[in-house]
Every structure is written in C-alpha cells, then in structure tokens.
Structure 1
Amino acid sequence: MSARKQTGPALRVLMTADAVGGVWQYALDAAEGMRAHGVETILAVLGPAPSGDQLEKARTSGIEVIDTGLPLDWTAEQAGEVAAAGQSIARLAAEIRPDIVHLNSPALLADGSFARPVVAVCHSCVATWWESVRGGPLPEAFEWRTELVRRGYRAADMLLAPTAAFAHATARVYNLAEVPTVVRNGRRPARGEAPGTRDLFAFTAGRLWDDGKNFAAFDRAAAHLSIPALAAGPLGGPNGTQIAARHAIALGRLSDEEVAGYLSAQPIFVSAAKYEPFGLAVLEAAQAGCALILSDIPTLRELWDGAALYVAPDDDDAFARSIERLSADETMRRAMGEAAKKRAGAYSVGAMSAGILSAYRALIPSRFRSISLKGAAA
C-alpha cells in the first residue's frame, strides 16, 4: 500500500491506553496504522507505567506517549478516583486541543467533560466479565464501576466494539439504545527468533492472572500431555490477583518479539478463555500459522469458526485430548495452521485503521477531505 503523503497532520487524536494487556497493542497498532494517513495520535497512558520495551516500540513508531500515573477504572479503590482521572484527561485534552478524543477506557467519560467529539471503545468491562466468568448478581465493588461505564457509554458520541457478539452483549447488559459499531481489531505481526531448536509444544499467552483467560484449565490439561505446555504472561495482576502454574511451564511476561519467537516455531496454540471480547493473542498465533484450539464462546466462534478446534472452556480433559490429537497428526496440524493464517488476513491493521477512521469521519467529516479511506483499508 502506498499512502498519500501529508504535509502536516490531517487530524490530531488524543487516545487513552494502558500498558497492562491488549489495549496497549491495539493503541500502538491503531496509531501507527492511522499515522500513514496523516493522523497524529498522542497516547495518554493510565495505570502501571509502560515497560522499557513498550516505550521503545512507541518511540520507534513515532508515537508520543504521556504517562499520566492515573488509575484505571478496574484497579481504582473508589469512584472518586475514576472521576478525578476523567477530569484530568479532559484537562489534558483542553491543553492538546485534538480533533478527536479516543477513549479506550469509557468510564473516564462519566465525569469528564470534553470539548471535542469522543469515540469510546468497548474493549471489556467488569459487568460482562462477571457475567461470563462468575455469573449471578454483581458484587458491590463492581456495581459502581459498572455505573461509571454505563454513564461513559451513554455520553460518548460513538461506541465501537471489536466483535458483533461482544457489541450485542454490551448493548444488552447496559441497555443501550444502539448496538456499538463493530470495528474488528487488527495486529501488525511481530518478528522474533525462536528460542533455540525445540520440539512441538502447546502454547498459550496473555494475562494469566485474569480468571477470564482461564489459564487454570490449560494448566490442568498440561498434566496429561505428552508434549510440553508453555505459558507466556504474568501470573500476578495490578489488582492483586495471583495464580500459580502447577503443570505448565510459566515463562513470565515476554516482549512482543519474544512471544513472536515462540510462535514462529508454530506450536499448538490454546486459548481456554471464558471471556474474550476479541483475543489479540489468538490473532498473533494465527498470523504465525499455528493450529488453534479455542474455547467455544461466541466471540471466538465469530472470528475463527472453520479455522480452529473448539472445546468447552472448563473441559480440561477435552483440551488435553485435542492437543494430543493435533500433536500426533502433523498433516492436520499444518492444514489447521494454514486455515488460521488465511483467516488472520482479514484482521489487519489496515482494516482496523479504516474502521476507526470511518468513525472519526462520521463525527468531523470536514477534516477528512485529504484522507483516502479506500487506501486505509488496504
């Protein structure tokens, strides 16, 4: 794709992000993808500070990062902290004067007043997480967080969601008048060297401490495998949650390049998630040509049906049997890896950038005369 060169930014965007999970990759890929079309994005990071490799990636991509030190809505101790964070981001927006404010944490809009149009993205929330992972009435600590998200959703000028299944779940849980617009995530493939010669192994990656990722099922399945089971990601979260690896080999937090190195060996990739609004780790594995074994939940069915094997999230015996089946059948494993890689081509950074730009264009069409959305989708 050859993007039309701009003499200056056609659009300035203030985008919030966090460095804890997939929102960081989403924000960097979106900012880099839109930069090719004259869009300048400034990232305001909330929650734990980005790591050195994360900051280096942003720097080499030409993306300005502001580490605000403000709390995330799901780690804050009380509603007032989130309200203050929203007001701080609003003040930052008033200083920067962007054309668009892009909130990846919609709760910030509950008490933040912005003079510019606001696009909010429904990446995840405690209410839909609780429904998928625990069930039953929300605990008190989740009720006020849910109310902040509800207010933020209703105050946004436009809502986006990464899958239709999650968009409809969000609209139902929050009783929204309109279903959020679907803009599927994309991922720029990372490159990394495989960590030495290695026989076939099973692999999972993500926030292992998050019960929604259901690492415990993968860990239990690992006890019954004839091949190693490796897991990349932190076992402890910023909210104090901790989990132990009893049978799988825990690799800890890895950089994008280190994860890409393991994926380049084309292991059997497993996601046992109970809650996954999109699943960037699955996309990264598919881009590398890994055979996929996924939990049978609506979002993962929507994205990968016909290109993965599916297992009920808590059936660790079925996960073990599926992994063993693929490990013993190289032909099937390679065919599934090719199918996953072909499907991954639909979830590109270009397509994601085009979707986001279309949302921006709907809010301020006069600023888009020099931006080719056709080119952005390439």
Structure 2
Amino acid sequence: MSTDAVGGVWTYASELRAELATAGVDVTLATLGPQPPLEPGGRWLDCRLEWQDDPWDDVRASGEWLREQARAVGADVVHLNGYAHAALDWNVPVVTVAHSCVLSWHEAVRGAPGGAAWARYRDAVATGLRGADAIVTPTAAMRSALRRHYDLTQRCRVIPNGVSAHPLALATRERLVLAAGRLWDEAKGLDTLDAAAQGLPWPVEVAGAAGGREARYVRLLGHLQRVALRARMGRAAIFAHPTRYEPFGLVVLEAALGGGALVLGDIDSLREQWDGAAVFVKPGDSAALHAALQGLVDDDPLRSKLARAARVRAQARDVGTTAGAYRELYERLCARRRVTA
C-alpha cells in the first residue's frame, strides 16, 4: 500500500493497515514524498509527489521503486493512494483510492479548473484511473469530481474512511471553539475563521502549522500530534471546519467522535456525510460563520443535540467497517484474477 506522510492519508493508511492485520491481511506500507513515515524504520522513498512542482522524473522513479517493493513482499494486491502509478504493469490487481486531486481543488478554491499548466497532471491521473482494476473514493462527491474532470466512465466504488474509537470525549465540555488545519492552506478557510472569531465570547483555537502566517483573533496552537489533538477535540464544545475543499474530511470525523458540535463549510462532500448533524456555512463568509458560532454558543440544547447526532453518525464510520469493505474488494479482485489466469 502506497502512502505519504504529508496529510491525512497517513492516518488513513496506518489505521487501515492495523485493522486489516487483525483480519489476517498482511499490509506493507511504502511511503512516498518529502516527509519520512511517522513510524521509524518503514519503507520510504524521498521524492516529489505527482501533484507537486515538476514531479515527473520522480514519479517515474518512485513507480519503479514501488514495483520493487511489491515484488519483494510478493504482493497479491497493490493498493495505491495516488493515481499515476496505476498505469504501470503490476501483474497483480491494482486498487486506486482517490483522496483528492488538483483539478477539483483548483475548482473549489480558485473558482475554476486548473489550466494548461496542469494538462500533464490531468493526463497522468486519467491514464492511471483507466489502468486501475478498481477505483475507490471516500464520498460520492469525490466520485463526481473524477467523472467531471477526468472523463471517468468505469465503475467507482465509494468506501467511506474510518478511524479508531476516540479515546476521550468528556461529558462536560470546555467553552471553546477548536479548529484544525494548516493556516497557510487557503482550502481550509481558516482565514475566514480568524475574521469570524472577532467579538465571540469564547476563545477560538487553531491547531496546525502556521507556515509563517499570523492570526488576529484566533489562538494558534501550532502543530499537535494526533493524540494531543484528539484529546483537545474531546474537550472542546464546538469544532469549526469552514473549508472550501474537502473530499472526505478525516479531521471532521475525528472531531465528531470527540463529541463537539460541528460548524462546517457548506460543500457537497460534507453535506453528504453530516447533513442534519451540523451547522453549515457558505465558505468564505465570515459574517455568516460568526453568526453560526454565536448561535451555538448561545444555545446549549441545540449544541448538545448536534454534538450527539454527529457522534452517533461518526461511530458508524469505524475503521473496522472500512477495513471490511477493502478486504471484500481485495478478495473479489484476487478471485477474478484466479478465474482469468
């Protein structure tokens, strides 16, 4: 299974591997990218990823490296958390999981699809999708994005991401609004949250790298390890994620398990998962976000109701359910290969 350690893909891959192991499925993680795996001693190739600047020599080299890893462990299935490498000759079934893509990010954040500068990326993604034996997205919204941007015609299965049970969810919540994300990442809408925080009676905290950016009205916590972030989620009364782009939103799932009421960007993927269990706000509208947060601060019963609804929904998205769906997919692909061999 390929992965990277840049964002939420690492959490997804490492938890999925651990859960599959309990079902007797041996998964080897192969980490690509500039950041080493968060578990020391793992297989890692320092390289550019397919969405980074001028990556294609590295994509070619990392593809050969991945094929070497697959041969070395005698892989029965190759599970790629990326696109381009699915076009290679693997001699075993290939599953490609679409966690995000540049063109849908560009559309959501910049208001238009990526232009000519991303033509080679688009071709590589489309070719990889055509080469995969199975394509998985975490939401129907991401599946629609693949069809829209890459002319995807083959079947694409939706398997929602899952995470392990939250270790801490206090009954008595701190009067606090929490958010998590990279402050410099314009997709996350944390600039909107910073503006919306002005005049709120509760403090607003943001966990995540600032990248040299400063904030006026929110308190920056810096990067927190996952254990520390989950503990904070287990205490905060409200979790805000006013994002412009989020194909799934693993951080929202973690926060819902932590027991906070959710205030989310009103985008298709989050509506798909949390409609009826969160307050939604148009991305980029700081006045509307301020009003939504103030409304939950002032309304204890509504805040508690939404928090309970989100937690119940999140508990159905456990990593065991996700792992079971992937195991069934792997077994079906292997059985098909035996029949056609």
| TM-score tier (shorter) | over 0.9
Q: Structure 1: which 5+ runs fail to align? A: 1-14, 57-63, 237-241, 369-378
Higher mean alpha-carbon deviation, 80-89 vs 137-146, is at: 137-146
1:193: how far off?
9.7
Residue 118 of structure 1 corresponds to 94
TM-score (norm 1): 0.84
| Structure 1 counterpart SS, 2:15 | helix
- Output aligned runs, 1:94-243, within 5 Å: 94-110=71-87, 112-191=88-167, 199-236=174-211, 243=213
Residue 279 of structure 1 corresponds to 249
2:30 corresponds to 1:55: no
| Aligned pair partner of 1:270 in 240, 246, 254 | 240
Contact 2:174 2:236 in 1 (8 A): no
TM-score (norm 2): 0.92
Name the amino acid aligned to 1:24: W
1:170: how far off?
1.1
CA 244–109 in structure 1, closer or farther in 2 if over 3 Å, else same: farther
Residue 3 of structure 1 corresponds to none
Contact 1:46 1:68 in 2 (8 A): yes
Whole-angstrom distance in 2 between the partners of 1:292 and 1:148: 37
1:198: how far off?
8.5
Whole-angstrom distance in 2 between the partners of 1:235 and 1:318: 24
Aligned pair count reads: 337
* Deviations 1:3-53, CA, capped at 9 Å, x for gaps: xxxxxxxxxxxx0111111101100111111111101111111113346xx
Residue 6 of structure 2 corresponds to 20
1:135: how far off?
2.5
| Aligned pair partner of 1:30 in 16, 28, 44 | 16
1:70: how far off?
2.6
1:79: how far off?
2.1
Whole-angstrom distance in 1 between the partners of 2:308 and 2:259: 6
| Structure 2 counterpart SS, 1:120 | strand
Contact 1:104 1:121 in 2 (8 A): yes
Name the amino acid aligned to 2:279: L
1:65: how far off?
2.6
CA 168–198 in structure 1, closer or farther in 2 if over 3 Å, else same: closer
Whole-angstrom distance in 2 between the partners of 1:167 and 1:44: 25
Name the amino acid aligned to 1:255: Q
Residue 301 of structure 1 corresponds to 271
Whole-angstrom distance in 1 between the partners of 2:15 and 2:200: 36
* Deviations 1:106-132, CA, capped at 9 Å, x for gaps: 22234x321221100010010111111
Residue 310 of structure 1 corresponds to 280
* Deviations 1:141-186, CA, capped at 9 Å, x for gaps: 4222222111111111100000112112212211111242000000
Q: Structure 2: which 5+ runs fail to align? A: none
| Structure 2 counterpart SS, 1:41 | coil
Name the amino acid aligned to 2:54: E
Output the aligned Cα RMSD: 2.2
Whole-angstrom distance in 2 between the partners of 1:219 and 1:107: 37
